[in-house]
Amino acid sequence: NKVTDYIAEVEHRFEDGGHAKASARYSVRDVDFLYAYAGTAADAAGNVGNMTWLARQFEETSLALDAHVSKPFEMFGQEHNVILGADYRSFANTTLLGGGNIAGPFNLHSWNTAVAEPVVNYATQTEVDPVQYGVYGQLRVKPFERLTLIGGGRLSWYEATTTNLLTGLPTSTVDVDAQFTPYAGIVYDLTDWLSAYGSFTEIFQPQTATDFNGNLLDPREGRQFEVGLKAELFDGGVNASIAYFNLRDVNRATADPDHPGFQAALGEVEAQGVEIEASGEVLPGWQLA
């Protein structure tokens, strides 16, 4: 598995504390593997009936571009901030997949390492070419000194076609037009060193995985909220936080247990938990994480 990234970035900082930034990333990924594993359960003597093998060649090139401007401004005696930006992502990947069985039996206690490498026939060959672009913005407003309100969102356009390279015919298409993904947050400074916050966002995440039939999986969609406390301790030397988060989404790609090497979309998934974190310098020369 080899990944090569080319990254370029330029940033300009304004005297008022704002900035403008543009970045680009071009990535090339190559994967080539052939492996085998026990294809059946072992019996009491340690014998497995056969080995199952899986081979894949995967090549992908991707381009990601982003440009945004962040500017502070004053209103009603308080400083606020606005961010406006746009981004673009494109992928082009090809996947060749093959698999089969090697007849046994094979004994786990006296393994025969002289197993001939199988002749690989890539029975599944697909090409996926998703393109995603959008515009986004965020506004941070302070109605008064201790309170910050955050609102924002993104408009996304997404299209992708999956092509069967053996037949040259498209097997599935996905086309999403002006999908809006909102975000909202609130921060309240309880003291000079302790803040309470809450946030809510919707999830829209396009995917490049395909299922056993060669169909592109639909984008992940869902929502997430989080509440917590953040603190600066030891005169600002240590940042600490505790948070509760809850996430629900659908269409998350996972390994297909019935078809090794392929993906399947899960139903609704819920993830929730508590996260506690602290890091920084508690004493001169002593770092804590």
Q: What is the DSSP string of 20-71?
A: EEEEEEEEEEEEEEEEEEE-S---TTSEEEEEEEEEEEEEEEEEEEEEEEEE
Contact 173, 136 (CB under 8 A): no
Question: According to the model, what pLDDT value does residue 72 have?
Answer: 95
Percentage of the residues of the chain whose pLDDT score is greater than 90: 61
Question: According to the model, what pLDDT value does residue 288 have?
Answer: 87
Checking if the pLDDT of 31 tops 90, the result is: yes
* 216/213 Cα distance (integer angstroms): 9
pTM metric for this prediction: 0.76
Question: According to the model, what pLDDT value does residue 173 have?
Answer: 85
Question: According to the model, what pLDDT value does residue 229 have?
Answer: 97
Maximum average pLDDT range among 18-22, 99-103, 213-217 = 18-22
Contact 84, 73 (CB under 8 A): no
Per residue in 77-127, pLDDT (tens digit) is: 889 999 999 999 999 989 898 989 998 889 989 887 788 899 999 988 989
Question: According to the model, what pLDDT value does residue 200 have?
Answer: 97
By mean pLDDT, which of 24-28, 85-89, 121-125, 226-230 is the weakest? 121-125
Reported confidence tier of residue 283, pLDDT bands at 50, 70, 90:
confident
Q: How many CB atoms lie within 10 A of CB 228?
A: 18
